[in-house]
């Protein structure tokens, strides 16, 4: 387990090292805002007995898979900050829309897991005492709630820790990803596809094997391959990959999206073109 966590942290740190100073500055600003928002939510949660009780009850009502889904959405939202900085060609589906109730539940669940790892016996008491115990555990970190005096390096380090913690949790709980199964591209990703005019003769749509006529509008995928609209739309209703290079468009499955974004992070660190064999 520790080895997996260290591997995740190393991958993120390697990806961060490839960013230019302006990209790193933009990312730090974005992450800082995100972490401040999470601290404020956690502070509200721990300071309100009613909100804490409702959130804890919500957590208890969720199945193991739904708890994993909560953290998976949290991880997806967190990863988008890094992957969006690295490229403007990634179109993200509406998976980042999280209600405050789900955000509170995810933050509380992560905090409970962290406390249990730090002190396995800390929660072996009545749940009515958990809020007080968690308040005591968080007292030092809550001092930085305003973000004052926190360096860019500390912000990035905390970001890496959050990603590693979420990724470890999703792995342990069982993501239920759909490896080996074809998934449709998300509606949001398909709607966002660009229409471009064909320039030059002789370009063929690899789906129907017919020529794309010069001057006609065709569909351009983010990997820059072109297809007839009437050919690519039925294709994307069944699978989210480019027929030419296997570039993956976003789907509406959060676990598959985490895989996709993680591939982007790994390729960033490896210094390879993120679209593989696309030209």
Per-residue pLDDT tens for 29-76? 989 998 889 989 999 999 999 999 999 999 999 998 899 989 998 999
Domain count, the chain: 2
The arithmetic mean of pLDDT across residues 190-199, rounded, is 91
Q: What is the pLDDT of residues 256-270, one digit of tens each?
A: 888 888 888 888 887
What range does the domain containing 52 cover?
Answer: 2-177+258-270
- HEC sequence for the chain: CHHHHHHHHHHHHHHHHCCCHHHHHHHHHHHHHHHHHHHHHHHHHHHCHHHHHHHHHHHHHCCHHHHHHHHHHHHHHHHHHHHHHHCCCCCCCCCCCCCHHHHHHHHHHHHHHHHHHHCCCCCCCCHHHHHHHHHHHHCCHHHHCCCCCCCHHHHHHHHHHHHHHHHHHHHHHCCCCCCCCCCCCCHHHHHCCEEEECCCCCCECCCCCCECCCCCEEEECCCCCEECHHHHHHHHCCCCECCCCCCECCCCCHHHHHHHHHHHHHHHHHCCCCCCCCC
pLDDT in tens, 198-252: 987 778 999 999 999 888 899 999 999 999 999 999 999 999 999 999 888 888 8
Domain shared by 45 and 74, yes or no: yes
Provide the pLDDT for residue 261.
86
For residue 137, being part of any structural domain is answered with yes
The answer to whether residue 200 sits within a structural domain is yes
Residue 279 lies in a domain: no
Is residue 76 situated within a structural domain?
A: yes
CATH code: domain of residue 209: 3.30.40.10
Q: What is the mean pLDDT of the chain?
A: 82
278 located within any domain: no
* Whether 45 and 164 share a structural domain: yes
User: Domain for residue 275, yes or no?
Assistant: no
Do 116 and 74 belong to one domain?
yes
Q: What is residue 257's predicted lDDT score, i.e. its pLDDT?
A: 86
225 and 125 belong to one structural domain: no
Task: Decide if pLDDT at 178 tops 70.
Answer: no
Residue 173 and residue 186 in one domain: no
d(CA 203, CA 254): 35
Specify if 209 maps to a domain.
yes
Question: Does 101 share its domain with 228?
Answer: no
- One domain for residues 207 and 77: no
> With pLDDT > 70 as the criterion, what percentage of the chain qualifies?
83
Q: Do 97 and 187 fall into the same domain?
A: no
Tell me the average pLDDT across 154-169: 89
Q: Above 70 in pLDDT, residue 161?
A: yes
State whether 57 and 105 are in the same domain. Answer: yes
**Both 145 and 212 in a single domain?**
no
Q: What is the pLDDT of residue 180?
A: 53
Q: Are residues 172 and 184 in the same domain?
A: no
Residues 71 and 155 in one domain: yes
Q: Supply the pLDDT for residue 242.
A: 94
């Amino acid at each position: 387990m520790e080895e997996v966590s260290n591997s995740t942290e190393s991958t993120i740190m390697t990806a961060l090292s490839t960013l230019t100073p302006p990209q790193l500055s933009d990312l730090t600003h974005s992450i800082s805002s995100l972490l401040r928002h999470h601290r404020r939510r956690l502070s509200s949660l721990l300071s309100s007995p009613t909100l804490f009780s409702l959130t804890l009850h919500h957590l208890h009502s969720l199945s193991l898979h739904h708890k994993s889904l909560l953290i998976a959405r949290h991880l997806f939202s967190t990863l988008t900050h890094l992957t969006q900085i690295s490229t403007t060609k990634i179109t993200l589906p509406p998976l980042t829309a999280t209600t405050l109730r789900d955000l509170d539940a995810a933050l509380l669940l992560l905090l409970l897991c962290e406390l249990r790892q730090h002190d396995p016996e800390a929660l072996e008491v009545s749940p009515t005492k958990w809020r007080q115990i968690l308040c005591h555990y968080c007292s030092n970190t809550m001092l930085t709630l305003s973000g004052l005096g926190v360096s860019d390096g500390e912000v990035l380090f905390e970001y890496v820790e959050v990603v590693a913690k979420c990724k470890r949790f999703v792995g342990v709980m069982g993501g239920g990803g759909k490896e080996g199964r074809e998934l449709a591209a998300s509606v949001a990703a398909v709607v966002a596809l660009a229409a471009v005019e064909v320039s030059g003769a002789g370009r063929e749509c690899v789906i129907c094997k017919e020529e794309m006529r010069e001057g006609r509008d065709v569909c351009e995928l983010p990997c820059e391959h072109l297809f007839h609209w009437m050919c690519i739309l039925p294709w994307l209703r069944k699978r989210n990959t480019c027929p030419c290079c296997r570039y993956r468009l976003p789907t509406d499955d959060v676990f598959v999206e985490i895989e996709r974004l993680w591939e982007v992070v790994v390729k960033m660190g490896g210094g390879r073109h993120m679209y593989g064999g696309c030209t």
